[in-house]
Amino acid sequence: MKTRFILNPSSGRNRLRPWLPGMIRNFIQVQGLEAELAVTEGPGHATALARAAIAAGCTQVVAVGGDGTMNEVAQALRHTPAELGLVPCGSGNGLALHLGLPLSLAQALALTASPTARVTTIDTGEANGKPFFNAMGIGLDAVVSDRFNRLTHRGLPVYARTVLGVIRELRPERVVISDGAAAEELEVLLVAVANSDQYGNHARIAPGARVDDGALDLVAIRPVGLVGAVSLAVRLFAGNLHRSPGVRRFRGDRLIIERVGPGLLHTDGETHAAGARIEVRVQPRSLRVRVPARSRVTTPSPDWAPAGFALQLP
């Protein structure tokens, strides 16, 4: 199996790992893999490198970085027979945790060459045409992501402080949410649309959500004070956020969010300017991912390939 590792040296913990490129090259050599390492040089570069890898005949492209790197690499792999490998090195690693991937660097690398690994196909999403694979959001979600991405130090404690700081400043906004059959107007602090069940760090924004069910889960959280925010945080990590009276949940393959005016939107933690109307769609079973044999995702990878591709299974 021809493999290309794509390393983002600026992702999360990778900033403190100047030895990582050497480790990956040594891993390739010791395992006797038909593989190469490519290193990103800036935003968007991982997508270009992944496309080049597919053009070169790679059947596995491995993202070595955080959720942003995963997003960029996966963009190029959607609707192709190439499979995504993940070596999670970010602050949250939401999709990796949902799929049951190892967070240990050595174990994650080993999975990319493991004969016992399997390939599954997962759904992906689009928000106004921007792909996401774990979660997208507006409101608190997007503002926190924007500020967090500007910080030099990351981690859960820093993220929690950022969230509390934004809650003190952020004003709620009115939105209309539609699932195609009905519409509801709400005043919200944030709206998140999840493919997996969590943001990362086991913070389950959409308990019970799955990446292989052909639907996306929308979670709208009404305004809360600091005391309410603490209560929601407890529920977030306890996995019962949906039971809070301040939370509304919708589910479907096409969801529309309309707000008063334009603002920020995040996709897998990366922020973008977006208009007042946001249309979110699911792309069922559109990405092949390498997972451990005991991954929670049970949907097998089908023997299919889009027109113009020859399917090459490992």
Q: Which DSSP helix (H) or strand (E) runs through 144?
A: helix 140-149
Q: Give CA separation, 257 vs 29, 194, 281, in Å.
A: 49, 14, 11
Q: Please say if 279 is a catalytic residue.
A: no
| Residue whose tokens read 């997007």 | 142
Residues 86 and 25: their CA atoms lie apart, in Å, by 16
Query: What are the residues facing 281 on neighbouring strands?
Result: 126, 254
Burial 54-74 (b: 16+ CB within 10 A, else e): beeebbbbbbbbbbbbbbbbb
| Contact status, residue 166 vs residue 172, Cβ threshold 8 Å | no
Residues 229 and 209: their CA atoms lie apart, in Å, by 22
294: its two tokens: 């005991």
Options 72, 126, 270, 279, the catalytic residue? 270
CA dihedral 254, 260, 263, 267 (to 10 degrees): -20
Report the 10 Å Cβ neighbour count for 308: 6
Query: What are the residues facing 35 on neighbouring strands?
Result: 3
Start-to-end Cα distance in the chain: 6
Catalytic residues: 270
